[in-house]
């Protein structure tokens, strides 16, 4: 299938100061510690790596102030993270053979937070942003944890109005999107000892109707279950990139603790969740017949591919749930596909005897069994599934669903 890697695009939406860039800096720092054994995660451009390193050093140093927010004049910036599986094995000549298998790239679009409240003032930039938004494979709604905490602590009408207005703007931008949507609550360490994850989730779902949050989740829940339009999942993910060195002061401002010890929470989860839920969304489209008049050619290819995948017990594919078997479709669904906006996939025979043999080899020998890009995709999928299983155990209510109370 060649060495062309899948290219996935994720856009983050958030008000000024919500923590988009500082989160990306924390993510870049986290992946350098190899959270996925045998998988190299790096930025495609060294200049961007240096920039995020600078942001991280400043944010992680309690003796310095927080990094400045991204300004509108800086334009829309892309940070492409490459995921490459690096495998070594001993061949029949007792020689060590090493290989690098580029599986995919995950590109985050970082933009000035002013686009959320003041998009009408930046028409050219906003138009480009809206175009990118429609082509994205997953969306991140960044919720400023500091603002949310002050809202839950009832710190006054001004703070309440600011938080609700920003939440409404983020949700408003997400309306109509079919992609997976993840809401990230930043600065999660500030909630420690104050509110549980369940309480935070319930508070968001109970925000006034004008924010649109509960309605957005309810519509996605209903349409995912009963509708003909196939929608991606909605998750709530708490993230802390700089916990332990900041605390909430008596005046409700975030202050630095020079004696604190840095502690991160769930920094890698949004990356893993993006891959997992993008593939889950693809699986829905690849296994559930849709309007034949709308995309007949794509539907026929999807049905054929789904049947072929179902024919092998090792590669069971279902319309719901993300399991290692689902990721057998990664390379067929994503690698070498000219347009991800349409369901143009390779024929079902691509998951034939050779792919099944590679799958068994990786399952049995782990990294040592990786010999092809398909095998690398299987291996990476297994690691991602393990990461998401661990997260779901710790935060079992992360998958957002909501059914409004019945009247009467």
Q: Can you tell me the distance from the alpha carbon of 285 to that of 283, in angstroms, rounded to the nearest whole number? A: 5
* CA max distance for the chain: 77
Q: Which of these, 46, 17, 7, 16, lies nearest to 113 by C-alpha position?
A: 16
Q: Calculate mean pLDDT across residues 87-102.
A: 74
Q: What is residue 305's predicted lDDT score, i.e. its pLDDT?
A: 42
At 102 the three-state DSSP class reads strand
Return the percentage of the chain with pLDDT > 70, whole number: 69
Up-side HSE of residue 408: CA atoms within 13 Å toward CB?
0
**CATH code, residues 6-267:** 3.40.50.300
SS3 256: strand
The answer to whether 277 and 235 are in contact (CB under 8 A) is yes
Q: Is the distance from CB of 136 to CB of 13 less than 8 angstroms?
A: no
Separation of alpha carbons 138 and 122, rounded Å? 24
**How much is the pLDDT for 286?**
57
**Average of per-residue pLDDT across 135-162:** 92
Predicted confidence (pLDDT) at residue 332 exceeds the cutoff of 50: no
pLDDT band at residue 73 under the 50/70/90 scheme: low
Q: What is the mean pLDDT of the chain?
A: 76
Q: What is the pLDDT of residues 391-404, one digit of tens each?
A: 999 999 999 887 66
pLDDT at 154 over 90: yes
Residue 74 reports pLDDT greater than 90:
no
Q: Poorest-confidence range of 30-39, 50-59, 273-282, 307-316?
A: 307-316
Lowest-confidence segment of 50-54, 64-68, 187-191, 331-335 by average pLDDT: 331-335
Please state the rounded mean pLDDT for residues 5-16.
80
As beta bridge partners, residue 15 has none
Residue 308 has pLDDT above 70, yes or no: no
Q: pLDDT tens digit string along 160-178?
A: 999 999 999 889 888 878 8
Say if residue 83's pLDDT is above 50.
Answer: yes
d(CA 324, CA 329): 10
pLDDT of amino acid 310: 42
Higher pLDDT among residues 37 and 26, named by residue: 26
Nearest to 113 by CA among 170, 171, 60, 48: 170
Those residues with Cβ within 8 angstroms of residue 348's Cβ, 6 or more apart along the chain or in another chain: 304, 305, 306, 307, 308, 309
pLDDT of residue 117: 58
Residue 368 token pair:
């040592």
- Measure the CA–CA gap between 282 and 150, rounded to whole angstroms: 38
Work out the pLDDT band at 407, boundaries 50, 70, 90: low
Region(s) of the chain under CATH 3.40.50.300 = 6-267
More confident residue, 232 or 297: 232
The C-alpha atoms of residue 105 and residue 281 are separated, in whole angstroms, by 18
Give the sign of the dihedral formed by CA 7, CA 59, CA 30, CA 387. negative
pLDDT at 356: 63
Using only C-alpha atoms, the chain has a radius of gyration, in whole angstroms, of 22
pLDDT of residue 6 exceeding 60? yes
Task: Give the number of residues written for the chain.
Answer: 408
DSSP per-residue letters across 335-354:
TT-S-TTTT----GGGGSHH
Most confident region among 1-5, 277-281, 344-348, 379-383 by mean pLDDT: 379-383
The DSSP code sequence of 253-313 is -EEE-TT---EEESSSHHHHHHHHHHHHHHHHHHHS---HHHHHHHHHHHHHHHHHHHTSG
The tokens for 400 are 């957002």
Higher pLDDT, 147 or 115: 147
With CA atoms as reference, report the closest residue to 137 among 297, 347, 285, 323: 285
Share of the chain above pLDDT 90, in %: 28
How many angstroms separate the Cα of 307 from the Cα of each of 127, 232, 316? 41, 22, 10
CA distances from 199 to 154, 269, 328 (A): 14, 21, 37
CA atoms of 1 and 354, how far apart (whole Å):
12
Confidence band for 209, pLDDT divided at 50, 70 and 90: very high
For residue 266, pLDDT beyond 80: yes
| Distance separating alpha carbons of residues 185 and 236, to the nearest angstrom | 7
Q: Does the reported pTM lie above 0.85?
A: no
Cα–Cα dist 281/297, whole Å:
19
Q: Looking at the predicted structure, is the pLDDT value of residue 300 above 70?
A: no
Q: What is the pLDDT of residue 130?
A: 76
Q: What is the mean pLDDT of residues 355-382?
A: 75
Backbone angles phi, psi at 369, to 5 degrees: -90, 0
Average pLDDT over residues 191-219: 94
Supply 301's token pair.
Answer: 């290819």
Q: Report the pLDDT averaged over residues 108-131.
A: 67
């Amino acid at each position: 299938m060649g060495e062309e890697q899948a290219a996935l695009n994720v856009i983050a939406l958030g008000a000024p100061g919500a923590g988009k860039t500082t989160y990306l800096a924390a993510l870049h720092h986290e992946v350098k510690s190899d959270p996925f054994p045998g998988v190299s995660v790096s930025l495609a451009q060294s200049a961007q790596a240096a920039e995020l390193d600078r942001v991280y050093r400043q944010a992680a140093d309690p003796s310095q102030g927080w990094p400045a927010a991204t300004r509108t004049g800086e334009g829309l910036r892309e940070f492409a993270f490459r995921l490459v599986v690096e495998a070594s094995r001993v061949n029949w000549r007792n020689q060590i053979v090493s290989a690098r298998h580029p599986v995919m790239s995950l590109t985050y679009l970082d933009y000035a937070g002013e686009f959320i409240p003041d998009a009408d003032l930046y028409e050219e930039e906003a138009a480009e942003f809206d175009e990118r938004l429609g082509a994205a494979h997953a969306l991140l709604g960044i919720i400023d944890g500091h603002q949310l905490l002050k809202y839950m602590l009832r710190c006054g009408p001004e703070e309440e109005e600011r938080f609700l207005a920003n939440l409404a703007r983020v949700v408003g931008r997400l309306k109509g999107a079919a992609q997976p949507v993840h809401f990230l609550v930043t600065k999660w360490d500030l909630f420690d000892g104050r509110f549980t994850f369940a309480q935070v989730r319930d508070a968001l779902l109970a925000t006034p109707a004008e924010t649109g949050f509960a309605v957005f989740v309810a519509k996605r829940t209903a349409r995912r279950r009963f509708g003909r339009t196939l929608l991606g999942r909605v998750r709530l993910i708490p993230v802390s990139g700089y916990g332990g060195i900041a605390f909430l002061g008596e005046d409700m401002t975030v202050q630095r603790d020079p004696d604190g010890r840095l502690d991160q929470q769930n920094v890698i989860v949004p990356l893993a969740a993006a891959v997992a839920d993008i593939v889950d969304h693809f699986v829905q489209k690849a296994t559930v017949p849709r309007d034949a008049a709308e995309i007949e050619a794509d539907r026929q290819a999807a049905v054929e591919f789904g049947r072929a995948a179902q024919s092998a017990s090792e590669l069971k594919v279902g319309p719901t749930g993300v399991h290692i078997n689902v990721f057998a479709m990664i390379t067929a669904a994503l690698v070498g596909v000219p347009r991800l906006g349409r369901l143009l996939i390779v024929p079902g025979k691509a998951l034939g005897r050779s792919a099944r043999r590679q799958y068994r080899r990786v399952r049995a020998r782990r990294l040592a069994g990786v010999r092809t890009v398909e095998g690398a995709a299987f291996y990476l999928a297994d690691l991602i599934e393990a990461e998401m299983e661990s997260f779901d155990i710790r935060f079992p209510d992360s998958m957002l669903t909501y059914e409004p109370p019945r009247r009467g």
